[in-house]
Amino acid sequence: MSKFNRKLKEGTPGISTASLPDIVFMLLFFFMVTTVMRETTLFVDVTIPKATEIRKMEKKSLVSYIYVGAPVKRLQTSYGTKPRIQLNDAFAEVGDIQEFIASERESHDEKEIPYMTFSIKADEEVKMGTVIDVKQELRKANALKINYSTRKGTY
């Protein structure tokens, strides 16, 4: 009993917080390195379909995205609910894809062009008609390496 009391009187020594900044900095650097900032603001709602046979995409810098989906809620009053294509930061028509491909190619090294991939991020509910149009444009521009963006899961 007396032993216990004595201990209480001494009081617990405070934990040193001197190394706290170091720990926090370590975490900070981890998140800084792994962070990928979202480059584009999405104007279309995209729920990508699920699939099981998926592969990871290599070399993110060589991938360009084509979004297809219905406009987001706040834009539906002015743009309607019909699925639309989004390239970079704006809505686009099928005819704009050629130009988009050309500008994407221009921003890359000539040697890298054959390895460039165009990833189609389309919503599950989109009809194939729109996707077919996009694919035909890609074929016309000779951008044959494509990727259907999907997430892991069983349908």
Using CB under 8 A as the binding rule, whether residue 15 contacts another protein is answered as no
Which is closer to another protein, CB of 6 or CB of 60?
60
What is the pattern of x (binds another protein, CB under 8 A) and - over residues 110-129?
Answer: -------x-x--xxxxxxxx
Among 6, 9, 38, 73, binds another protein (CB under 8 A): 38
Using CB under 8 A as the binding rule, whether residue 94 contacts another protein is answered as no
Which of 106, 90, 107, 5 is closest to 41 using CA atoms? Answer: 90
Least gap, CB of 92 to another protein (angstroms): 18
- Calculate the CA dihedral of residues 82, 87, 90, 94 and round it to 10 degrees: -50
Q: Angle at Cα 139 formed by Cα 111 and Cα 131, nearest 5°?
A: 120
**Hey, how many other C-beta atoms are within 10 angstroms of the C-beta on 126?**
20
Write the CB contacts of 113 (distance below 8 Å, at least 6 apart in sequence).
Answer: 105
Using CB under 8 A as the binding rule, whether residue 150 contacts another protein is answered as yes
Encoded tokens for 27: 């975490």
Q: Residue numbers of the site for another protein (CB under 8 A)?
A: 17, 20-21, 24-25, 27-28, 31-32, 34-38, 49, 51-57, 60, 63, 68, 117, 119, 122-129, 131-132, 135-136, 138-140, 142-152, 155
